[in-house]
Amino acid sequence: MRIAHLLTVGLFLQAMAGAAVADQEPPLYDYDKPTAYAEFINLKGEHIGRAELIQGPHGLLIMLELENVAEGSGFHGIHIHARGDCSLPEEGFPRAGLHAHGTNGGQKHGLMHPEGPHAGDLPSIYVHDGILRYELFTTFASLDGSVGTNIMHPTRGASLIIHENPDDHYTQPVGGAGDPIACAEIKLN
Ligand SMILES: [Cu+2]
């Protein structure tokens, strides 16, 4: 009887503690910074996934979730390009522009180039059987100019481009990454 009573009190206290934690749980990020999203399409114009972009106090987090990116597995270059225009997919997104760069970014392409990098340069991604789940982080670009270059040009916008080959982070103009295979216009929430 007594043990049962203690158990009941214990469960009740546990429930109260759980409720209190839930009530007081702070938001994931308790600062006022912009967020954005980007829907990827392939060269056929088909939707293949999404990126969530969150501006933090030290840089930009880019969370990628994609399927049917490419046949098989391998590394692919990915960059922030200087125009938010993924039209003409069958022509390789010619309106997405060059890599985003700015006064505080380098003038040459490549994370490993002494005169680089462009603000839009990023580490390459590895796609496994066409699928990608990955988080990228950059201090060279931001959604508001608070860290590195503001990629969200008021009229041109910006896009994320995935290339057919890996980026060697040095060769001009795109690190040998080849043609684009997917594009996503970055849109502020
Ligand atoms: Cu690129």
Q: What CATH number does the domain located at 35-188 have?
A: 2.60.40.200
Average pLDDT over residues 112-127: 95
Q: Tell me if 93 sits within 8 A of 87, measured CB to CB.
A: yes
| Whole-number pLDDT of residue 31 | 79
| Whole-number pLDDT of residue 106 | 67
Ligand 1 centroid – CA 9 distance (Å): 61
Ligand 1 centroid – CA 85 distance (Å): 13
Ligand 1 centroid – CA 26 distance (Å): 37
Ligand 1 centroid – CA 118 distance (Å): 10
pLDDT tens digit string along 22-64?
A: 566 666 787 789 999 999 999 999 999 999 999 999 999 999 9
**How far is residue 32 from each of residues 47, 57, 79, 135, measured CA to CA in Å?**
30, 10, 26, 21
| Whole-number pLDDT of residue 30 | 74
Ligand 1 centroid – CA 53 distance (Å): 17
Ligand 1 centroid – CA 82 distance (Å): 10
Average pLDDT over residues 86-93: 97
Token pair 């969200």: residue:
152
Ligand 1 centroid – CA 15 distance (Å): 52
Is the pLDDT confidence value at 153 over 80?
A: yes
Residue 15 pLDDT class (50, 70, 90 cuts): very low
Residue 102 pLDDT class (50, 70, 90 cuts): low
Is the pLDDT confidence value at 6 over 70?
A: no
Residue ranges of the domains in the chain?
Answer: 35-188
Of all residues in the chain, the percent with pLDDT exceeding 90 is 76
Neighbours of 74 (CB within 10 A): 15
**How far is residue 79 from each of residues 105, 121, 166, measured CA to CA in Å?**
14, 5, 11
